[in-house]
Amino acid sequence: MAAGFQPAHAAEAATVSGPDNLLLLLSAAMVLLMTPGLAFFYGGFVQGRNVLNTMAMSFVMMGLATLVWASFGFSLAFADGGAAQAVVGNPFRYALLENLPEVWGGLAVPGVSFALFQGMFAIITPALISGALVERISFRFWCLFTPIWLLLVYSPLAHMVWGGGLLGKDLDFAGGTVVHISSGVTALVLAGLIGARRQWPQSLRPPHDVTQILLGTGLLWFGWFGFNGGSQLAVGGAEIPFTTTHVAAAAGLVAWSLVETWRDGKPTAVGMATGAVAGLVGITPAAGFVTIGSAMAIGAITAVLCYVSVQLKVKLRFDDSLDTYAVHGVGGTAGALLTGVFASAELIAAHPAGQVLAEQGRAALVVGQLQAVLVAYGLAAGGTFLIAGVLRGCGVRFRVPESAENLGVDVAEHGEEAYAERVGSPQRF
């Protein structure tokens, strides 16, 4: 089915299916777990004096993004937009999650369950952005920027892809454009606006805790079953996205490790973790649309492309700190295009893209995917520039002072630190 198969104005199913509703609720909980997983993943990469701030930028989304989504975000994404239907929904139709149908259009799940599940995507998407900005971004700016971004960028893009908008004929099973490209491009723009960390790249900054990275990867991998599998929105057929998700992650892990071994003579644990995440990113838009063998290919190809992107970032000396664009932007782009290449005619037969494939051929399908990618790039980049420009005009500082970077963002921004016995601080703020 896919997260966007049924626009909000589709005909309603007759009754709620208990198994389908249970799948959606359990998947929502699994996707929520991905945000703490991401916090551990990102937190392991940074210096010990910045780990709490890094994790807090993910954790705070569990509060901020939830309230924004429940207030107006869901309605913008999934309500009928009338004359503006191609771009955005009516922000008041389901405001505060009121007036939701007992059975969501065309499915067999309650409207509130669908809204809750989709809300978990709205939580983790801005959290992904933070990886490019760690160890220097102002927490105040972060907490002002992200709610606006959710309303002006994420919700309209979700509507275009999943809510019956202008990208509804394109294939995005669980968020290649909506989640990964939007977050990756936004991260790229913000990293450019905020600038590199002080003394980077002259000062090498290895991860402070690789075990934390591996823990985060495990939580992300587990949660991704809900992310992709739950996007089937029904028990029937969910075995496909569950399985393709797993094998793509496995292929990404192995592919990254093989490339590292070929180049450096040995695989790294960090590389294994990053490769697995790259594979998961790549399969996200394709999870319910491709065969198991194709999922392996997508995971491996995406991981190799992300590896190359990481190396290019280093050569260009662009401080995308934790490779958010290199993995999520590049991986989301690759996954979206590869979805068009590998989509199974049988698995997309009920999707509007199935008609495109049948009548116009594979090339037209890939061109459609490319158009969706370009729209996502344009909306994310343009919206980010606009929001950041307005906040800057209002006097909001993008990054912490130099003294805070030297001392550690944890103490400067939160008045606490993760490892007092290891880092220490002259005073509490």
- Indicate the average pLDDT of the chain: 93
**pLDDT for position 421:** 56
| Residue matched to tokens 């910045």 | 50
Give the C-alpha separation, 397 to 205, whole Å: 25
Q: Assess if residue 419 is contained within a domain.
A: no
Burial 31-60 (b: 16+ CB within 10 A, else e): bbbbbbbbbbbbbbbbbbbbbbbbbbbbeb
Place of tokens 């490892």: 419
Q: For 256-270, 373-387, 393-407, 409-423, which range has the lowest pLDDT when averaged over its residues?
A: 409-423
Q: Return the bridge partners of 105, or none.
A: 12
423 located within any domain: no
| Residue 3, pLDDT above cutoff 90 | no
- pLDDT (0 to 100) of residue 428: 42
Residue 268: predicted pLDDT: 97
Q: How far apart are alpha carbons 401 and 30 in whole angstroms?
A: 37
10 is a domain residue: no
Contact 245, 223 (CB under 8 A): no
Residues with Cβ within 8 Å of 130's Cβ and at least 6 positions away in sequence, in order, are 42, 54, 57, 58, 137, 142, 187, 324
Is 8 part of a structural domain of the chain? no
Residue 323 tokens read as 């490779």
Residue 408, amino acid: G
pLDDT at 105: 86
pLDDT of residue 198: 86
Separation between Cα atoms, residue 207 and residue 339, nearest integer Å: 33
What is the structure's pLDDT at 314? 85
**Per-residue pLDDT tens digits for 55-74:** 999 999 999 999 999 999 99
pLDDT at position 8 is 40
**What HEC string does the chain produce?**
CCCCCCCCCCCECCCCCHHHHHHHHHHHHHHHHHHHHHHHHHHHHCCHHHHHHHHHHHHCHHHHHHHHHHHHHHHHHHCCCHHHCCCCCCCCCCHHHCCCCCCCECCCCCHHHHHHHHHHHHHHHHHHHHHHCCCCECHHHHHHHHHHHHHHHHHHHHHHHHCCCCCCCCCCCCCHHHHHHHHHHHHHHHHHHHCCCCCCCCCCCCCCCHHHHHHHHHHHHHHHHHHHHHHHCCCCCCHHHHHHHHHHHHHHHHHHHHHHHHHHCCCCHHHHHHHHHHHHHHHHHHCCCCCHHHHHHHHHHHHHHHHHHHHHHHHHCCCCCCCHHHHHHHHHHHHHHHHHHHCCCCCCCCCHHHHHHHHHCHHHHHHHHHHHHHHHHHHHHHHHHHHHHHHHHCCCCCECCHHHHHHCHHHHHHCCCCCCCCCCCCCCC
- Cβ burial of 354 (10 Å; 0-12, 13-18, 19+) is buried
315 within some domain? yes
Q: What is the pLDDT of residue 13?
A: 55
Q: What is the pLDDT of residues 330-386, one digit of tens each?
A: 999 999 999 999 999 999 999 999 999 999 999 999 999 999 999 999 999 999 999
Distance CA 301, CA 412 (A): 41
Please tell me the predicted confidence (pLDDT) of residue 293. 98
CA distance 260 to 160: 39
Contact between 191 and 35 (Cβ < 8 Å) = no
pLDDT at 106: 85
pLDDT of residue 424: 47
Task: Tell me the Ramachandran region of residue 197: left when phi exceeds 0, alpha when psi lies from -120 to 50, beta otherwise.
Answer: beta
Q: Choose among 28, 73, 36, 75: nearest CA to 55.
A: 36
Residue 232 domain-assigned (yes or no):
yes
The model's confidence at residue 79, banded by pLDDT at 50, 70 and 90, is very high
Proportion of the chain above pLDDT 90, given as a percent: 87
From the number of C-beta atoms within 10 Å of its C-beta (0-12, 13-18, 19+), residue 393 rates as exposed
* CATH number of the domain within which 156 lies: 1.10.3430.10
Judge whether residue 391 has pLDDT over 60.
yes
- Dihedral sign computed on CA atoms, order 352, 233, 58, 142: positive
Residue carrying structure tokens 């007092």: 420
Q: Is the pLDDT of residue 30 over 90?
A: yes
113 lies in some domain: yes
Tell me: pLDDT of 429 over 50.
no
Q: Is residue 2 very low, low, confident or very high in pLDDT (cuts 50, 70, 90)?
A: low
pLDDT at 331: 98
Residue 12 domain flag: no
- Give the pLDDT confidence of 126-158 residue by residue, as tens digits: 999 999 999 999 999 999 999 999 999 999 999
307/239 Cα distance (integer angstroms): 29
User: Which pLDDT value is given to residue 379?
Assistant: 97
Radius of gyration of the chain (CA): 21
More confident site: 421 or 384:
384
The mean pLDDT value for 300-317 works out to 95
Q: Based on the structure, what is the number of domains in the chain?
A: 1
> pLDDT, tens digit, for every residue of 199-242?
777 666 789 999 999 999 999 999 999 999 999 999 999 999 99
Residues 305-311 have a mean pLDDT of 97
* Contacts (Cβ under 8 Å, ≥6 apart) of 98: none
**What pLDDT shows up at residue 9?**
42
pLDDT at 422 over 80: no
Which structural domain, as residue segments, surrounds residue 306? 18-413
